Amino acid sequence: MKGIVFTEFMELVESKFGEDTMEDMLEAADLSSDGSYTSVGTYDHNELVKMVEELSKITKVDVPDLIKAFGNHLGVVFYTKFTTFFEQADGTLEFLKSIDDHIHVEVAKLYPDAELPVFAYKEHEDGSFHLFYSSTRGFSDLAHGLIEATSGYYKESFSIEREDSIEGSTHKTHFVLTPS
Amino acid sequence: MSEERLRKRVQREKKARMEAEKILEDKSRELYERNTQLKELSENLEKQVVQRTQDLKVAHDKALSAVKAKSEFIANMSHEIRTPLNGVLGMLTMTLDTQLTEKQKKWIGNAFNSGQHLLSVVNDILDFSKIEAGKMVIQMEATDVISLTRGTVSGLRSIAKEKGIELACQFPKQFPSYIDADPLRFRQILTNLISNALKFTSEGSVNVSIKQTQERYTLKVEDAGIGMSEKQIGRIFNAFGQADGSITRQFGGTGLGLTITQYFIDMMGGNITVSSEKGRGSCFIVELPLVEQDALSKEQQLRAVSADGRFESAEVLLVEDLIVNQEIAEYLLNRANLKVDIANNGKEAIEAIEKKDYSVVLMDLQMPVLGGIEATEIIRKKYSKEKLPIIAMTAHATKEHKDEVLSKGMNDHVSKPIETSELYRALAAFLTFEQDKELKDKNKEPATEKQQVPTSDTQNYAGLDIVQGLARVSGKTGFYCRLLRSFHDSYQKYSANLKRHLSAQEWDESIAVLHALRGSSLNISANELAEHTSTFERTLRDASYDNVLELESKLFKLGEQVESSLLEYLAQHQ
Ligand code: HEM
C-alpha cells in the first residue's frame, strides 16, 4: 500500500490521540518498518491493519470506527491534494461513479504498484444509489469514510446502509446511498 | 515524552528520510535511463524516417520513369502499328475498286472493316495518351453536321444490319448545314456513341436524333441494350472503366471511348448526359452550342462541302520513299483528278521542281538521302510559300511536331496514315475544286483567306498567346471567347482549392489541381502559366517543398495576369 496512506494515518493518530498514544501503538504493533514511513514509499497493508488493531486496544474505540474516521480524514486530504477530480464532478454520486473508470485509473498511472479496489454501481428507479466495493484487502470501512467525506465536500447528505460479505479472499460490500 | 521515546522518534524520522532519499535517487536514475532510451528511440525513429523517405523517393522516381517509358513505348508502338496498317488499308481500298467477285468483295470488305477497327483502337490509345499529356488540340471549323451524321450513321448501318438491329435516324427539316465543331472529333463522338449503343443492344433498335434550338444542337442516341445501374453510370466516363469488368470480357473494347468522347465534348464547349435503366437501355444526350453562321467564310464552306470532290486538273509532286505510301497517295490524288509525279527523296524533289511547275508539293519528312525538312529549307531559298505550297505528311501527329514543320517553311501538314478528307481539305487551300471554278472567278477572293487575326489584337494581353490560342481553334474568336470564359470560371475554383490544399500541405490534392489548371491554361494558350504550373507540379511530385511559398505566389501572379488579360479580351470581343 502506498506510503501516503501510512503517513496520513500517522498524522491522524498523532493529532487525534497524541504522541504518546502513537508511540504506544507502534511499540505494541512491533512492525518490521518500525513505523518509519515516507509518503513516496510502498509498505505492506497488513502493517496498517496491525496498527489499527493496537490503536483500538489502547483507545477502546472499535476498529471499524477507527478506519472509517481515517477514511474521513483521507477524503479531506484527497480533496486538498487532488482538487481537480472533485471539480470535474457535479455531485457525490457523479464523483463516486467516476472512481473506478477514471480516478483510480489515473492513480494507477501515477503509482504503478498501487493496489486498488474495484467499484461498480447501479442507480435504482426509487432514487437510491448502489455502490459495490470489492477488494482482497477489506477496507470497506475506509470506503465508507471516504464516501462520507465526499458528500461532505459537495455539501450533500445521504443515509448510507451497507451489507458486507466475503467470497473466498475477496471482501465485498454493497453500499446503498439514499438522499436525506 | 521520555528521552528514550524522543530518541526513537528521531531515529524513525531519520530512517524515513534516508529511505525517501534512496527512493528518490532510484527513481531519478530510472528516469534518467528511461530518458536516454527514449532519446535513442526517437533518434532511431528519425533515422528510419529519413531512410524510408529516401527509399520511397527512389521507388517513386523509378515508378515515374517507368510510366514515362511506358507512355513513350505506347506512342511509338501506336505509330509502328499505324504505318503498316495504313499500308494494309490502302491496299484493301484499292483492291475494292477493282473487278471482284461478290465473295471476294465481301472478304476484302471484312478485312477492311477489321483493319479499321484495329486502327480505331490504336487511335483511341493514342488520343488518350495525348489527352493525358495535355497535348490534344482540336481544330474548330464550319462543319456540316447533318451530312457528317448521315455519313457516320450509314457507315455503321452494316454492323446494325448484321446484328439485326434497326438503326433509325431523325433529323429536323430546317437544320443549318454548318455548326462550329472539329469534324474529325465530332465524327469520333458520333461513332463512339452509336457503336457503343449497337454493341450493347442485341435486339430492338437504336435511335439517333438531332434537335436544334436557337443556340443549341442536341444529339440523342438511344438504345434498347443492357442498360446500366446508377453506380455503373458513375464509372463509365473514367478511363478504362466500362460499367464492370465482365462487360470487357463479354463485349470487348478499350474502355477509353467515353473518356475521350467526353473530353472532346468539353473542348467544344458542350456537355453530355446519360440516363439508363438496367435491362431497359441507355440514352446519351450531347449538347453543343451553336455559333453565328455568318462568320463562316465561303472558302471554309467550300472546303467542308467538297471533301470528296474533284479538283481542276493540276500537277502535284509527291515526295515519299516508301512504295506502299506512294501508291496510296498517288491513288487518292489521281482519284481527285490530279496528275502526280513521284520523287523518292528530298534530293529528287529539288531536281524535279527545277524541271516543272507544280501546283503543290506533298512532302514526307523522314527519307533517305535528304529529308523533307532539309529539302524544304533548300527549296524556300528560291521559292516562296505563295509560289510553291508544300504540304508535309507527318506521322508524328503531335502539335509540337506540326508547329515545327510550319516554322520550317511548310504551308500545311496532313497526318499519316492519310485520311482522304483531310488530304483533300489541305489541298483545297491551294487548288480549285472543279465545280467551284465559276464561283471563284466571279468573286475574286483569294482561296487561302482564313479568318485573320488582327495584329493589334495580339500585343496587349500579357500572359496569353492570342495568336496561338486562336490558331488552335482555327481563328474562331467566338469559340476562343468561350474557352476563355470557361477558363475564367474554373480558375476561380482552382485557385481557391489550390490555396486550401497548399496551406493544409495536402500535396497529392495540390498536384491534381495543378495538373488540371495546366490543362486549362494550355487550352487558351496561357503558356507561361502552363509552364509554371507544370514546374510547380513537378517540384511537388519530387517531394521538395522548400520553395512552395515562392512558387505559389508566382503562380497566382501569373494567374491574375492571365485573368485580367482574358477579361480585357472578352470585353473587347463581345
Ligand atoms: C481523488 C480521489 C481519490 C484518490 C486520489 C484515491 C487514491 C487512492 C490511493 C492512492 C489508494 C492507495 C492504493 C495503494 O496504496 O495501493 C487508494 C485506495 C483505496 N481507495 Fe481511493 N482514491 C480516491 C477516491 C476514493 C473514493 C471516493 C473511495 C471510496 C468510495 C476510494 C476507495 C478506496 C479504497 C477502499 C482503497 C483501499 C484499497 C482497497 O480497498 O483495496 N477511493 N485510493
Residue B32 scores a pLDDT above 80: yes
User: Is cis: bond before B183, omega within 30 of 0?
Assistant: no
From the CA of A41, how many Å to the nearest CA of chain B? 7
- Quickly list H helices, B133-267: 145-163, 183-200, 230-235, 245-251, 257-267
Number of Cβ atoms within 10 Å of the Cβ of B26:
10
Kindly give, in sequence order, each residue whose CB lies less than 8 Å from that of residue A93, ignoring residues fewer than 6 positions away: A123, A129, A177
Q: How far apart are CA B358 and CA B352, in angstroms?
A: 9
> Given ligand 1 and candidates A42, A104, A109, A119, which is best to mutate, with the most ligand atoms within 8 Å of its CB?
A104
Residue with the three cell numbers 471476294: B104
Residue B114 scores a pLDDT above 90: no
Q: Write down the pLDDT at residue B305.
A: 38
Closest CA in chain A for residue B7: A23
Q: Inter-chain contact B20–A35, Cβ cutoff 8 Å?
A: no
Predicted confidence band of residue B415 (pLDDT cuts 50, 70, 90): confident
User: Is B275 in contact with B223 (CB distance < 8 Å)?
Assistant: no
User: Is B484 in contact with B524 (CB distance < 8 Å)?
Assistant: yes
Predicted confidence band of residue B377 (pLDDT cuts 50, 70, 90): very high
Q: How far apart are CA B397 and CA A119, in angstroms?
A: 80
> Given B12, B24, B27, which is nearest A36 (Cβ)?
B12
Q: Could you tell me if the CB of A139 is within 6 A of ligand 1?
A: yes
Which has the higher per-residue pLDDT, B373 or B472?
B373
Predicted confidence band of residue B475 (pLDDT cuts 50, 70, 90): low
Chain B positions touching A41 (Cβ under 8 A) are 19-20, 23
Q: Could you tell me if the CB of A28 is within 6 A of ligand 1?
A: no
Which has the higher per-residue pLDDT, B271 or A26?
A26
Q: How far apart are CA B177 and CA B530, in angstroms?
A: 37
Q: How far apart are CA B331 and CA B94, in angstroms?
A: 8
Average of per-residue pLDDT values in chain B = 80
Least confident of A88-92, B40-44, B49-53, B108-112: B108-112
Residue B295 scores a pLDDT above 50: no
**Which among A99, A86, A92 is positioned nearest to A134, based on CA atoms?**
A99
Residue B451 scores a pLDDT above 50: no
Looking at domain B455-572, its CATH architecture is Up-down Bundle (1.20)
- Quickly list H helices, chain A: 3-29, 45-59, 63-81, 83-88, 92-98, 104-110, 140-153
Residue B322: burial class (beta carbons within 10 Å; 0-12, 13-18, 19+): middle
For B151-163, the pLDDT digits (tens) are 788 778 878 888 8
From the CA of B42, how many Å to the nearest CA of chain A? 23
Q: How far apart are CA B395 and CA B415, in angstroms?
A: 6
Residue B119 scores a pLDDT above 80: yes
Domain B141-299, CATH: 3.30.565.10
Kindly give, in sequence order, each residue whose CB lies less than 8 Å from that of residue A172, ignoring residues fewer than 6 positions away: A132, A133, A134, A164, A165, A166
Q: Write down the pLDDT at residue B240.
A: 58
**Which among B364, B366, B358 is positioned nearest to B329, based on CA atoms?**
B364
Q: Write down the pLDDT at residue B417.
A: 66
For A78-124, the pLDDT digits (tens) are 999 899 999 999 999 999 999 999 999 999 988 888 999 999 999 99
Residue with the three cell numbers 439485326: B164
Q: Write down the pLDDT at residue B253.
A: 60
Residue B244 scores a pLDDT above 90: no
Residue B300 scores a pLDDT above 50: no
Residue B349 — φ and ψ, nearest 5°? -60, -45
Q: What is the ipTM of this complex?
A: 0.72
Least confident of A161-165, B271-275, B432-436: B432-436
Give the best-scoring range by mean pLDDT among A147-156, B1-10, B189-198, B529-538: A147-156
Closest CA in chain A for residue B24: A40
Question: Which grid coordinates belong to B117?
Answer: 477497327
Predicted confidence band of residue B474 (pLDDT cuts 50, 70, 90): low
Least confident of B171-180, B238-247, B408-417, B427-436: B238-247
Q: Write down the pLDDT at residue B133.
A: 65
Q: Inter-chain contact B24–A40, Cβ cutoff 8 Å?
A: yes
Q: Could you tell me if the CB of A12 is within 6 A of ligand 1?
A: no
For B62-86, the pLDDT digits (tens) are 988 887 777 777 777 777 888 888 8
Mean pLDDT of B135-145: 73
Q: How far apart are CA B271 and CA B287, in angstroms?
A: 5
Closest protein CA for atom 32 of ligand 1: A143
Residues paired with A175 in a beta bridge: A131, A162
> Given A19, A20, A37, which is nearest B16 (Cβ)?
A37
b/e map of B135-162 (b: 16 or more CB within 10 Å)?
ebbbebbbbbbbebbebbbebbeebbee
Q: Could you tell me if the CB of A147 is within 6 A of ligand 1?
A: yes
**Which among B263, B245, B262, B264 is positioned nearest to B253, based on CA atoms?**
B245
Q: Could you tell me if the CB of A2 is within 6 A of ligand 1?
A: yes
Q: Write down the pLDDT at residue B176.
A: 56
Looking at domain B307-436, its CATH architecture is 3-Layer(aba) Sandwich (3.40)
Q: Write down the pLDDT at residue A140.
A: 95
Residue B418 scores a pLDDT above 50: yes
Least confident of A7-21, A136-150, B245-259: B245-259
Q: Write down the pLDDT at residue A29.
A: 93
Average of per-residue pLDDT values in chain A = 94
Q: Inter-chain contact B20–A38, Cβ cutoff 8 Å?
A: yes
User: Is A113 in contact with A44 (CB distance < 8 Å)?
Assistant: no
Q: Which residues of B touch A (CB under 8 A)?
A: 1, 5, 8-9, 11-13, 15-17, 19-20, 23-24, 27
% residues pLDDT > 70 (chain B):
83
Predicted confidence band of residue B448 (pLDDT cuts 50, 70, 90): very low
For B199-237, the pLDDT digits (tens) are 888 888 899 988 877 677 888 999 888 878 777 777 777
Choose from B2, B4, B6, B9 for mutation: most chain A CBs within 10 A.
Answer: B9
Q: Could you tell me if the CB of A142 is within 6 A of ligand 1?
A: yes
From the CA of A29, how many Å to the nearest CA of chain B? 15
- Please report, as a single letter, which amino acid is at residue A171: H
For B143-153, the pLDDT digits (tens) are 777 777 877 88
Residue B250 scores a pLDDT above 70: no
Residue B289 scores a pLDDT above 90: no
| Angle ∠(B167,B307,B445) on CA atoms, nearest 5 | 140
Closest CA in chain B for residue A38: B16
- Please report, as a single letter, which amino acid is at residue B478: G
Question: Which grid coordinates belong to B194?
Answer: 452509336
For residue A112, what is the DSSP state? T
> Given B5, B15, B23, which is nearest A34 (Cβ)?
B15
Residue B553 scores a pLDDT above 60: yes
Which has the higher per-residue pLDDT, B470 or B362?
B362
**Through-space distance between the first and last CA atoms of chain B, rounded to whole angstroms:** 110
Q: How far apart are CA B465 and CA B467, in angstroms?
A: 6
Query: pTM for this one?
Result: 0.42
User: Is B96 in contact with B105 (CB distance < 8 Å)?
Assistant: yes
| Sequence ranges of the domains in chain B | 141-299, 307-436, 455-572
Q: Inter-chain contact B12–A20, Cβ cutoff 8 Å?
A: no
Residue B310 scores a pLDDT above 80: no
Residue with the three cell numbers 476561380: B492
Q: Write down the pLDDT at residue B353.
A: 92
Q: Write down the pLDDT at residue A136.
A: 93
User: Is B179 in contact with B290 (CB distance < 8 Å)?
Assistant: yes
Chain A positions touching B24 (Cβ under 8 A) are 40
For chains A and B, CB pairs below 8 A equal: 32
Q: Write down the pLDDT at residue B135.
A: 65
**Interstrand relation of B314-319 and B281-289 (parallel, antiparallel or unpaired):** unpaired
Q: Inter-chain contact A23–B1, Cβ cutoff 8 Å?
A: yes
Residue with the three cell numbers 438496367: B278
**Through-space distance between the first and last CA atoms of chain A, rounded to whole angstroms:** 34
For A120-164, the pLDDT digits (tens) are 999 999 999 999 999 999 999 999 999 999 999 999 999 999 999
Residue B259 scores a pLDDT above 90: no
Number of Cβ atoms within 10 Å of the Cβ of B281:
22
Number of Cβ atoms within 10 Å of the Cβ of B19:
17
Residue with the three cell numbers 506512294: B326
Mean pLDDT of B352-362: 92
Positive or negative: CA dihedral A110, A111, A112, A118: negative
Mean pLDDT of B255-261: 82
Residue A19 scores a pLDDT above 80: yes
For B381-393, the pLDDT digits (tens) are 989 888 899 999 8
